[in-house]
Amino acid sequence: MEATELARLQFALLAAVHFLFVLLTLGLGPVVAIFNTRWVRAREHRLLVFENATRFWGQLYLVNYALGIAAGIVLELQFGLHFPGLLDVAGEVFGAPLAVETLVAFFLESTLLGLWVFGWHLFPRALHAGIFWAVVLTGYASAFAVMVANGFLRNPLGYVLEGPPDAQVARITDVGALVTNPAALLSGLHVVGACLMAGGFVLVGVSAWHLRRTGSGFRLPTGPDEDLWRHSMRAGIWTGVFGVLLTHGFGYAQFAYYDTDSLDGNAAIAVLFGLMVMIANLTMLAALVLPFLLIGGAMFRMRGRRALYVLLTVLLPLPFVVALMGWLVRELSRQPWIIQGVLRVDEATSDQSSRAVLASLVLLVGLMVTLAVLDWWVLGRLARAGTSRLVLGAAAADVLREDDAGADVLLRFSDAPGPGAAR
């Protein structure tokens, strides 16, 4: 493969894997915020349920968020490595929204998240929940800034090329046109729907796995844990339904500016697009049926519900697969342009050798895949553990367990009187 092809392949793989982190972070955020708010407003008999729901789903959010940061850094390395022409020509236009995302939304979001994590026992519960709502809003603002940058690549607006023909530079002439670009607005709302759909599927899948392990009779099992999984199942279904509606509505709306001719010229893209639409339509049908099973708690009492729980657990990865298909169709159909009609990919790539690009591809993609595998391994362990080992929001002494090596010694040592206690 030529260096340009290897650089394209590296970008496609890194962007695709990184997008998995984004889907789960933005999908779980609103759900954690809602559970946190319900914990603030809950009556005494519901306090433990919503506190545990906030802590459990908040743990998954934090693990995915932390590893997603590392994955994002890996993704940004490649622009300077292999696409210097993009920054030379459109650094001001393409880089401006990314700078906003990094300097404002990203750092503000991280700071607020730190306050939420370490202020668990310091702030009033209402203020604590409000902080996390701010985390969610800044997270979505960060994602929109990225979609503004990506929308410019797809449908360049609000700019002008200046300078000699062989060294032209893009300058922003209309910030409003750049921000309200339909490739940014419609695609951004489409991505929001995809994230909510993914978050909903995760809630439904994990809750179904735990509900399947409870009793098989018609009497509804009681207890804080069972109540938590039923609330999570309801939240997941409604989140997924809302996400599916957004995804479908704004997905089809993109056809107004989408170049469908590219689908005819590439069989692989056409197959991906058709498969993506078919799965998305099946997901839409499921979204129309599942809410009816919540009426009167029918899902939790019906015959064959354990088989339904198995199916819902198995379908957990589906929105991530569909999202990857959509992202590949969106990016591959723009080729050979890196900025549609303005700059070709081969004009923007560096003059490095194929061997150098291949080395960076193996290193960076290997690192990104390692982060993704580690992320899903940790998330899987936390999801299976349920509420038995909640660390987020726990007092320091509650984190230690007698079954840990040396934990009992640490506990006895912490209870021992210090020097001068006798006096």
- Reported as a single tens digit per residue, the pLDDT across 216-244 is 444 455 556 788 999 999 999 999 999 99
| H-state helical runs in 213-304 | 224-253, 261-264, 267-289
Please name the residue that has the structure tokens 């370490």.
118
- When pLDDT is averaged across residues 263-286 and rounded to a whole number, the result is 79
Tokens of 369: 């895949």
Find out whether 316 and 202 touch, Cβ atoms under 8 Å.
yes
CA-to-CA distance for 104 and 35, rounded, in angstroms?
Answer: 27
Q: What is the pLDDT of residue 264?
A: 61
Tokens of 76: 């940004």
CA-to-CA distance for 111 and 135, rounded, in angstroms?
Answer: 9
Q: Quote the longest CA-to-CA distance of the chain.
A: 87
- When pLDDT is averaged across residues 317-338 and rounded to a whole number, the result is 82
Domain ranges in the chain are 3-395
- Reported as a single tens digit per residue, the pLDDT across 139-191 is 999 999 999 998 898 889 999 998 887 788 989 999 999 999 988 898 899 99
- DSSP letter (8 states) at residue 391: -
pTM listed for this prediction:
0.86
Phi, psi torsion values for 172, nearest 5 degrees: -75, 125
* Residue of 61, 36, 23 lying closest to 243 (CA atoms): 23
Tokens of 167: 């060294």
Cα of first residue to Cα of last residue in the chain, in angstroms, is 78
- Reported as a single tens digit per residue, the pLDDT across 342-395 is 888 888 888 888 888 899 889 988 999 999 999 999 999 999 988 887 888 776
Confidence of residue 411 (pLDDT cuts 50, 70, 90): very low
Neighbours of 122 (CB within 10 A): 9
Neighbouring-strand partners of residue 172: 159
CA-to-CA distance for 171 and 342, rounded, in angstroms?
Answer: 13
- Reported as a single tens digit per residue, the pLDDT across 56-107 is 999 999 999 999 888 888 887 777 778 888 888 888 898 889 888 887 777 8
Give the torsion sign (CA, 299, 303, 309, 315).
negative
